[in-house]
Every structure is written in C-alpha cells, then in structure tokens.
Structure 1
Amino acid sequence: MAGQIFSAILVIIVGVGGCVAYFWGANKTLDLVFPSRGVSGGTAVDNLRRQAMIRPWLFIGPAMIILIVYLIYPVVQTLYLSFHDRAGESFVGLGNYAWAFGDREFRNSILNNLLWLLVVPAACTFLGLIIAVLTDRIWWGTIAKSLIFLPLAISFVGASVIWKFIYEFRGADQVQIGLLNAVVRFFGGDPQVWISLPFWNNFFLMAILIWIQTGFAMVILSAALRGIPDETIEAAVIDGASPFQIFWKIMVPQIWGTIAVVWTTITILVLKVFDIVLTMTNGQWNSQVLANLMFDWMFRGGGDFGRGATIAIIIMLAVLPIMVWNIRQANKETGGH
C-alpha cells in the first residue's frame, strides 16, 4: 500500500512538474528564437507577431497530439477493424454488422441498454431536482448535499463492491449479511439471489448508477435553481400560487435547458455503462449490455477484433448525436461562450 501511495505521489509530482517545465521552457525558447527586446522597432514588432501566432500552438500542441494518438487514431483503427475478420486481416465488408443485428445476445444487450436509458437518466434527474429543491429549504441542506454527492467520488467498481454486500445472499439456513436479504428475512420473507433474477436484476444494477449520479444531477440543478430571480418567485407567491405550482410552472420551465443537459449527460454515461455490469454479474442472467458484450468479443474467448470493433462503433454512433446536441445546448446556456 505504501509503495502504491508513493508511486501515485511521484506520478503527480512528475506530471505537474513536467507540465510546468514544458510551458516555461516553451515560452523561454520562443522568446530566444524571436526576441522582442534588444532589437530594432520593426523587428521587435515582427517578432511579437510571430510569438502571438506560435504561442497558442505551443500550449495546445501536446493536447492535440494526445487527442490524435489516443482518440482519433483508435476511432479510425476501430472502424477499420469492424470491416475485417476475427484477426483483423481479411476484409468482410458489412458482415460483422449483419451478424450484430442478427445475433440474439446483441439484441438482448440493446434491449437492456434501452431499459437503462429509460430508467437511469429519468430517475437521476428527477431525484436530483427534488433533492436540490428540498435541501435549499432546510438549515442542514449543505450537509445533506455533501452526503448525497459523496458517492460520485467512488469508482464504479468500488460502488459495485459496496452494493454487492447489500445484495449478498447466504443459504436459507444461514445468517444473511446482505442488507436487503436481512430486511426481507426480518419481515418474514425468503432471501433471494437478487442479481440473478432475470429482467429484475437490471433494476438492481441500475440502482447503483442512480445512487452515484444523483449527486451530480443535484449539484448542477441546485446551481440552476439559485439562478432563478427572486422577483419571479415573489410575484408567484403574491399571485397566490401554491408551492407545487411554483415548482412545476415557474422553476422547472426556467431551468429546462439545464435539466436537458443533465439528462443527456447521464444518457451518454448509460450508453457506455460497463464497470457495474462486469463487477456485479459479468453479463450473466440476461443482464448483458453493449459495452460488456464488446469487451467479451474483443478480449475473451480468443478475441474477435472484427465483432468487438463493430459493437464499439455502434456504441459510438449511438453516443455521438446525443453528445453533439448536449454540447450545443450547453453553448446556448452559456450564451455561446
């Protein structure tokens, strides 16, 4: 453990120090190559102009290189592999895509993803909005928000391990250490292997992501609610509007853009959900989702690069329109800046 902590600290120091050294060195080198001091007026002006043209590229250059190497190139390579066979050598055209939409497990994964899309974004956004409104009305609201936001700091795998203890099942004649089964046993019911129940196990897995992402929705929506002018609320109160009417007819319409951004952001996350399913069920008992299926085809059973890449491209195509719309909506919210 001590060695891992030391390695993490060392990486942070080297990474931050390297960034500082690069930007300082790049600026220093640029000033030496195109000096603006100690030269005649015309040359100084020309050098300042050259510095202004080059300096932005020095700053964004590393980010662009990383973007090309770790994002653009993998997308191109994945698209290439999706038109090739298992080994990524022989061209098969649209054969992998025909296989995907004709495969029962792939169709089941799509249905599960659609189920996640219907439930998780709606539940997170609704709960986040309700909590944001309620916590603004109580004196310990800040503490409540902190506790609700806390799961967001936990990795998906870590959160899944926590919820495994909640769903844990022991034999009917044993003491139930799982919280859910302990409650069921207390009320006289029979303990269940909850994550193995087809169809319903999807909802038990969704509960983990809802638990994590509700805090995100709450924080964003709480900030949006604070931006509503007090005069609007006061005018509604004077006109005799009830708290319920103020909430649905005054507050919600004014933050609708933010609600949409939160909704679509969580939707993108749901389309890529992987860690929770892998940790909890590994796709068993009809809980498979597209990202987990892609992982299985790409890295298990000998690996099928063509089919794995095909599923990856389908996920990307599903995410891309939502992401573009989300960015445009966010730009509208910020006035295009």
Structure 2
Amino acid sequence: MAIMKDVAARAGVSISTVSFVLNGVSKQHKVADNTAKRVLRAAKELGYHINSSLELSPNSSVGQNVIGIFFPRENNATDLGRITENIYQYTALQNLSCNIMVIPYQLEQLNEVIKNIDWKTVDAAIVVIPQLKERLELDDFPDELPIVFYNYSDSRYNSVSCSCAEASKLLCDIIHTKGYQDIAVIGSESSPGICDSYFTQFLELCEQSGIPVPTKNYISVENSFYGGAIAARKLLNFNSRPSLILSANTVLAQGAIPVFARNEFYIPYNTELASFGLDSDLSYLQNHIPSLTMVIIPSMEMFKIATDLAFQLMEGPEKKPIHRICQCKLVLNESLSI
C-alpha cells in the first residue's frame, strides 16, 4: 500500500509538499500548480487513494484524505455526531482537510471488519471502543496498518485513552465526607455513551469505599432527555427522596432537572446532583441552572490526539506504536459543592 513517502519520492518533492497538496492547502503554502499536478499524478500512478472531488487540472491542487471512523452500532448516535464535529473543527483549525467515512461494527466482529475493509478507500482509521475494556481479543494486524484505537490501549497499536481514577476518587471522597444517607443513581439501559462505562467504574469505587447505593435506588432508563425525565418522576414517587443523585451522563441529568423543578424539588436545596460528562458539555453546562458538578471525560482532547496520530500515519507507520493517556477532571459547581 503506497504511503506519502512513496508519493514524495515518485514526484521528486518533500513529504510536506505531498501533504499540502493532498490536504488541500497547497495554495496557502505557495506550491506551484505544476508541482501539485506532479504530486497528484504520482499518487494516482502508485494507487494512493485520492478523493473523487480531486481534479487533475492545472487550476486544481485540492485533495482530501479520508479518515475512517469505526463506530460501534450499539453506541448512542449523538456521540457519532460529536466525534465528526470535533474532527472537522480541529482539522479546520490546523489548516488540514479530510473526509470522514463511518464504518459501523459490532464489538464481537471488530477483527473481521478491520480485515475486510478496503484500505484503499481510507488513508487512516480511528476505531472507537464503546466501553472500557481491560482487554479485547484483537488479532495481530500488519504494522503498516494506519489505525488508531480510541478509548482503549493495546501495546501493539497506536492508541488514545483516558484515566478517570483520580477524578473519581476525589468525587468519592467528597460523597463519603458529606455522609449522604439516601443516594439514588440514574443510569442508561440502552445506547450507552462514552461516559457510561467510566460511571460504572466510579460506582464500583463507591461500593469499595463503603458508600451505600441500594439496588432499589438504581433507576435504569433509555439514554435520552426523555429517559432522564422518566427517572425524575420515579424518584419523586419514592417514600424517602434522595439527598444525592448520581447521573451516568449529562443527557439524563438535563432530562431530570426540569421535572424536579416543576415539582418544587430543587437542586441543590432539596437534593444534590453529580454527573459524568464530556468536555464538549462543559462550556454551556457551567451556565446551566443549576450549574452541574461533573467528572469530565476529555473526549475532544482525545480526538484531537487521535486525529493528529491518524495524519501522522498517513505519512508512514511509526517505528513504535504511540500511546497517549488523557486525564479526567472533577469540576465542582452549584449542583454539588463542598
């Protein structure tokens, strides 16, 4: 499979020149039209994938790389929208250009999907792993395969993951110190998002720390605003209303809060609430009424790193797989404070 280095050698130019041409920024970097044509011709002769919008004409030197997003079928579609938006925004800021091809998969069939994809149709791929997994049964793929795993770490492959241990422990310590007697949980029963598995890990830590969360106080609903509203109505019907509510994600929390307010059960006065959320949620949820206390999953930061790695792999495989670990953080706001 041809890589940028091969195209550069064939065209007699630098790898950076090839990158400028194929990423559609040759004009900004003052690449001559004749040079751009030579790069495009070399790419075509070597079978390097060129986007169909590219024209081999003297007046055109714009091409786009294609990043494949392996996205789990069972995941919430909202996450996919966020992912593609993050990638497009970041590449625009970096003066890069790409198309995105979504490749749906089921976790148990991931190896087969990776093997069977036509790698001439994508220049690099980001594989989104939906839930935290200590170990996936991944096959040994060729070293030159331009692939980055997101939300998962494997010593054999390029990867971006995050650690929630410190932020979860901080929240756990606050809950333990404040001594809540009645704790309720709002969790998702379908279409899990990226936050949900970190939330499950956090609940396990609570249990290990001696923080009681009775099974009867765990409400599982569909992962939507509507699901959050249903959970709120169920909690309002409890004989003993909770003094703390833990939400798996901000979608469920935002669905629940207005229902509580309409029934004069106010956060943080009658109960307190903490949620897991994405860094893309932070800017507007800090201005929410009440502003939400959240453990923040750095999904945007992770996708910036994954996208950078994907573009690096387009130029050729790394000598050793690159692994990046981002840190979650606890942001205290009105809904739960010290």
Q: Same fold (TM over 0.5)?
A: no
TM (norm. structure 1) is 0.27
Which has the larger helix fraction? Answer: 1
Higher relative contact order, chain-length normalized (CA < 8 Å, sep 6+): 1
Please tell me whether Structure 1 or Structure 2 has the larger radius of gyration of its CA atoms.
1
| Bigger strand share | 2
